[in-house]
Chain A
Amino acid sequence: EAQVTQNPRYLITVTGKKLTVTCSQNMNHEYMSWYRQDPGLGLRQIYYSMNVEVTDKGDVPEGYKVSRKEKRNFPLILESPSPNQTSLYFCASSPFLGGATSGANVLTFGAGSRLTVL
């Protein structure tokens, strides 16, 4: 089944304890992206990757790192989590992004990771 898999789905941690949220897709998609969703703010883009070894900042990258060493994986790293990073996180992928060919821009999302930082 074509899917985007995120882990963990739920996590409660403490301030300063490094954590990684994994994201893996089995569709050979070039584009991957991380979002956080907060009440009243909608989905905001953290980082994205157009292809292997190519990553770039979204709108809210502070406090996060990513890497894209393989096409299928795009982990989100919180080096020193803080309470303001408590949120619902989504990873997504698409065949590629760009241009007006809308089919290529269609995102497939993972089920989400609910993170609480105490």
Chain B
Amino acid sequence: RKEVEQDPGPFNVPEGATVAFNCTYSNSASQSFFWYRQDCRKEPKLLMSVYSSGNEDGRFTAQLNRASQYISLLIRDSKLSDSATYLCVVTPRSSNTGKLIFGQGTTLQVKP
């Protein structure tokens, strides 16, 4: 089993739709969680950190479920510009480790 798993998709949705992705992680001691966005083979860029209490940034909402070991990303009112690959990132252990584990990514295609 991979340490961090995502459904690669693609998720094809119409503009204005609400779409959600999940990312599961296997190490219960995982410490920090992030969503990054990557456009067509360009560098990944931070979309949002994921806090224990959940957090929202405009149309984007991130949630953490430690009991079930997954994080989620919800995108409301999808725009064409949201088309990208969304990478889940986990720091697998507590402090002073330099390892970051990336999920394979979930591809979103928003159609007109």
Answer yes or no: do A and B interact. yes
Q: Residues of A at under 8 Å CB distance from B?
A: 31, 33, 35, 40-45, 48-50, 56, 58-59, 88, 90, 97-100, 102-103, 105-107, 109-112
B32 within 8 A of A: yes
Chain B residues with Cβ under 8 A from A59's Cβ? 99
A90 touching B44, Cβ below 8 Å: yes
In the bound complex, how far is the Cα of B100 from the Cα of A80, in angstroms? 27
Residue of A nearest to B3 (CB): A59
Chain B residues with Cβ under 8 A from A58's Cβ? 99
Could you say which interface size class chain B belongs to?
Answer: 20 to 34
A109 touching B99, Cβ below 8 Å: no
Chain B residues with Cβ under 8 A from A110's Cβ? 43
The 8 Å CB contact of B43, one of A98, A99, A109, is A109
Q: Residues of B at under 8 Å CB distance from A?
A: 8, 31-34, 36, 41-46, 49-51, 87, 89, 91, 94-105
Main DSSP-derived SS at the B contact region:
loop
In the bound complex, how far is the Cα of B87 from the Cα of A50, in angstroms? 23
B91 touching A105, Cβ below 8 Å: yes
In the bound complex, how far is the Cα of B44 from the Cα of A88, in angstroms? 12
Chain A residues with Cβ under 8 A from B45's Cβ? 109
Closest-CB distance, A41 to chain B (whole angstroms):
7
Chain B residues with Cβ under 8 A from A90's Cβ? 43-44
Chain B residues with Cβ under 8 A from A48's Cβ? 98-99
Contacts A35-B102, A42-B104, A106-B49 hold; do A98 and B41 have CB atoms under 8 A apart?
A: no
The 8 Å CB contact of A33, one of B95, B100, B104, is B100
B100 touching A107, Cβ below 8 Å: yes
In the bound complex, how far is the Cα of B96 from the Cα of A31, in angstroms? 11
Chain A residues with Cβ under 8 A from B33's Cβ? 102
